[in-house]
Amino acid sequence: MFDLAVVGAGPGGYVAAIKAAQAGLRVACLERRALAGGTCLNVGCIPTKTMLHITELAEQAGQQAKVLRDKPGSGVELAKLVKHREQVVQQLGKGIGFLFKKNKVEALWGESARFVSPTKLAFGNREVEAKHVIVATGSTPAELPGLKIDEKHILSSDGALSLTQAPKKLLVVGGGVVGLEFATVFRRLGSSVEVLEFLPQIGGALDTQVAQSLRKILEKQGVKIHTGVAVQGATVEGDHVTVTAKANGTTMQFAGDKVLVCVGRRANTQNLGLEELGVEKDRAGRILVDEHYNTNVAPILAIGDCIPGPMLAHKAEEDGVAAVENILGHPASNHFYKYVPAVVYTSPECATVGATEDELKQARVAYKAASFPMAANSRSKCNGHTDGFVKVLVDPATTRILGASIIAECAGEMITELTLAVKYGITATQLAATIHPHPTISEAVKEACLAASAKAIHL
């Protein structure tokens, strides 16, 4: 018998398995794929960021040629990019496999697990028994009524990664994180891209000011964006797709070669045998847990995308660590959710942590907003990336940072400093008094904090 069985080897599952093994537990990790890493590594974060990076390099080469009055490069060949991307995925996946061996985690591959009892799982032709079980089965792309995904004309994000040729015209249904990142990739690959978003703004829960700024920048780059659009359905004729939608009571039609559906994700909690055990779920199919990740059926715990909370790889990793700590008898909770940063990897990137202005207004919390434009940052000027700003929201009495949003070249790297501040109560005054190396993009954080606590120097 194992001390712990982890179902799923995604970011939450593999981290939980390794953490438990490092603590001396005998651990098995059951994964239906042949490679660890889950959605993030195989068909999510890593493949898309690889594509974003390579296409960005190609775009920068074109910009460099324009500045230096040189001949532009030949662009990116998608088939070669896909091959490179898969090499990255394989290398990282094998790296996780190595970590399993190093930490003596027994990894079982290529089958779907199903509960036989709260402590026993069927996995192919064998049974795995454990004192505790962590469900870390992740999520899959959600579908939209009227848009039947066939992965030929109407694609999920998984299907989009299988393309070896960029479509001439791509319709992206959904202007959230995934939709905007794919819109950026395919626009760089030469596709004409239109985004259809149901909500009045793009970017999901981004700060309104950031979302508005991002929209202007993406449209300037060539992405057409329609908000307040309710997609009704699609018809396929030959190699073309027509999407029917409504906006303000008016029926509209959009034509393209491919339709990419990016309307969120749903928890992978089907066919696990949870219903037979009486494990409670919410209406969206997510497993309900308490603050220590326990389900209502002991000794089953659940983490990551298959429970309520942000569907983010780094959140799942922290879930995994906390769940194992609870198994070990060291109480840990999911109260860190309000400190989880989120990033949109467009160009420029957008990042946020803590409260947004809208949230503070709704909660009637007193705050002061201060910002600093990237156009006034020396390194951004050197790099030719002057769009965007750093924005901090502080308690007007203490300058404690309540939330922060960034739209900038390296927003995903910059947000960590502000995440630390939000979590540990660091004030804008303290960050402003912290020496930042020059010239760096991070100086914009210092200047925004100066603007919140005193007055920015370079503005």
Q: Any idea which residues carry the catalytic annotation?
A: 438
CA angle 191, 197, 201 (to 5 degrees): 115
Query: Is 213 marked as binding a ligand?
Result: no
Residue 191: strand, helix, or coil: coil
Q: Are 370 and 391 in contact (CB under 8 A)?
A: yes
Query: Is 459 marked as binding a ligand?
Result: no
Query: Is 314 marked as binding a ligand?
Result: yes
Residue 113: strand, helix, or coil: strand
Q: Is residue 229 exposed (0-12), middle (13-18) or buried (19+ Cβ within 10 Å)? A: buried
Q: Which two tokens stand for residue 30?
A: 């059951």
- Could you give the CA distance from residue 413 to residue 17 in angstroms, rounded to a whole number? 27
Query: Is 357 marked as binding a ligand?
Result: no
DSSP-assigned beta bridge partners for residue 259: 154, 171
Query: Is 384 marked as binding a ligand?
Result: no
Query: Is 124 marked as binding a ligand?
Result: no
Q: Which two tokens stand for residue 399?
A: 């300058």
Query: Is 138 marked as binding a ligand?
Result: yes
Query: Is 305 marked as binding a ligand?
Result: yes
Query: Is 211 marked as binding a ligand?
Result: no
Q: Are 218 and 183 in contact (CB under 8 A)?
A: yes
Query: Is 175 marked as binding a ligand?
Result: yes
Query: Is 180 marked as binding a ligand?
Result: yes
- Residues ≥6 apart with Cβ < 8 Å to 215: 201, 202, 225
DSSP-assigned beta bridge partners for residue 302: 135
DSSP-assigned beta bridge partners for residue 133: 5, 300
Query: Is 139 marked as binding a ligand?
Result: yes
Query: Is 256 marked as binding a ligand?
Result: no
Query: Is 112 marked as binding a ligand?
Result: no
Q: Are 322 and 332 in contact (CB under 8 A)?
A: yes
| DSSP E strand stretches across 139-222 | 139-141, 154-155, 169-173, 192-196
- Residues ≥6 apart with Cβ < 8 Å to 221: 184, 187, 347
Query: Is 185 marked as binding a ligand?
Result: no
Residue positions in the annotated binding site? 49, 137-139, 174-181, 197, 264, 305, 311-314
Residue positions in the annotated binding site for FAD? 49, 137-139, 311-314
Residue positions in the annotated binding site for NAD(+)? 174-181, 197, 264, 305
